[in-house]
Homo-oligomer: A and B are copies of this chain.
Amino acid sequence: MDATADQRYVITLSCPDTTGIVARIAGFLADAGGWITEAGYHSDPDTGWFFTRQVVRADSLPYGVDELRDRFAQVAAELGGQTDWTVTDTAVPKRAVLLVTKEPHCLHDLLGRVAAGELPVQLDAVIGNHDELGDIVRAHGVPFHHVEFPPPGNVRYAVEKEKAFDELSGLVEGYDPDAIVLARFMQILPAQVCRAWAGRALNIHHSFLPSFVGARPYHQAYARGVKLIGATCHYVTPDLDAGPIIEQDVIRVDHSDTASDMVRRGRDIERLVLARGLRWHLEDRVLVHGNKTVVFR
């Protein structure tokens, strides 16, 4: 299949910083006739690390994505053993699985965006630990799976929960998704699941982290009397609410907003922040280093 005019190859790379990296990559692409349409660079003075994201017109290269990957692997290898890199093809849609509970707003928002063609993603499935949201998911033509989780007071809670997570993990892995989106999925993931999904699982936390870690952040915000409330999209790690932050935003509140007003109004920020974070993840704009992200917007 010939490349279309819109098709792009997206290259990301991070490695210890040194002189000549840009020249090496740019030279490699120029030699192949590569037409760069976007290029981002970041040199981190603290960690001494270098990051780049380059977007190349597929039809400007004499070969396809597999050969680009093979050839680029050699460039990356020359840059040392700590080099981390990816080459992706915008003609191959990224695939996502959403995890939900009962809170519908992020789900509705993402379904709407997918239906409107706003997000470069193939939505493979939605998995819920409740089944309330199944109907709307199916109405959008997306498979919905219900994985039952034990209620908190259950005597066999720990065992049942482990079983539920096994089932959930199995389902997710069956899709092998590029993005696992916790769209207000109110369960804390076990550490081994966090590790298995590292760099692929995005959560939306309903506060401006690191303020109000943990449960009921809007109620915490209300009690403290803050004048802005926010939301945070971050990668999931075994440390609760402490993963690398992808995106955050806030809105203004005042004394007339009750805790439930904050819950309602915060949804607007949760929707937006999750949608933006997910888009950037899908477009390979987010490079993680330690507990921080470089986001090439």
A contact residues vs B (CB 8 Å cutoff): 19-20, 22-24, 26-27, 29-31, 33-46, 51, 60, 104-105, 108-109, 111-113, 115-116, 118, 136, 139-140, 208-212, 224-228, 230, 244-250, 254-256, 258, 264, 267-268, 272, 275, 291-295, 297
- The answer to whether B115 touches A112, judged by C-beta atoms less than 8 angstroms apart, is no
B38, B139, B210, B264: which contacts A43 (Cβ < 8 A)? B38
In whole angstroms, what is the CA distance A19 to B36 when docked?
7
With a cutoff of 8 Å between Cβ atoms, the chain B residues found around residue A26 in the complex are 22-23, 26-27
With a cutoff of 8 Å between Cβ atoms, the chain B residues found around residue A30 in the complex are 19-20, 22-24
- The answer to whether B43 touches A37, judged by C-beta atoms less than 8 angstroms apart, is yes
With a cutoff of 8 Å between Cβ atoms, the chain B residues found around residue A139 in the complex are 136, 139-140
Sampled A-B contacts (29; CB under 8 Å) = A19-B60, A22-B26, A23-B23, A26-B26, A26-B27, A36-B43, A37-B45, A38-B43, A39-B41, A41-B41, A46-B258, A104-B112, A105-B118, A108-B112, A108-B113, A109-B109, A115-B136, A116-B267, A136-B140, A139-B140, A208-B208, A209-B224, A210-B212, A225-B292, A226-B248, A228-B230, A228-B250, A255-B292, A268-B272
B109, B210, B254: which contacts A112 (Cβ < 8 A)? B109
| Dominant secondary structure at the A interface | mixed
With a cutoff of 8 Å between Cβ atoms, the chain B residues found around residue A224 in the complex are 209-210, 245, 291
With a cutoff of 8 Å between Cβ atoms, the chain B residues found around residue A113 in the complex are 105, 108
- The answer to whether A228 touches B248, judged by C-beta atoms less than 8 angstroms apart, is yes
Known: A24-B30, A38-B41, A105-B113. 18 other contacts (CB 8 A): A19-B34, A20-B30, A23-B23, A23-B30, A26-B26, A37-B45, A38-B256, A42-B255, A104-B116, A108-B113, A108-B116, A111-B112, A112-B112, A208-B211, A209-B226, A211-B211, A226-B248, A256-B297
With a cutoff of 8 Å between Cβ atoms, the chain B residues found around residue A116 in the complex are 104-105, 108, 267
Q: Looking at the assembled complex, report how far the CB atom of A39 sits from the nearest CB atom of chain B, in whole angstroms.
A: 4
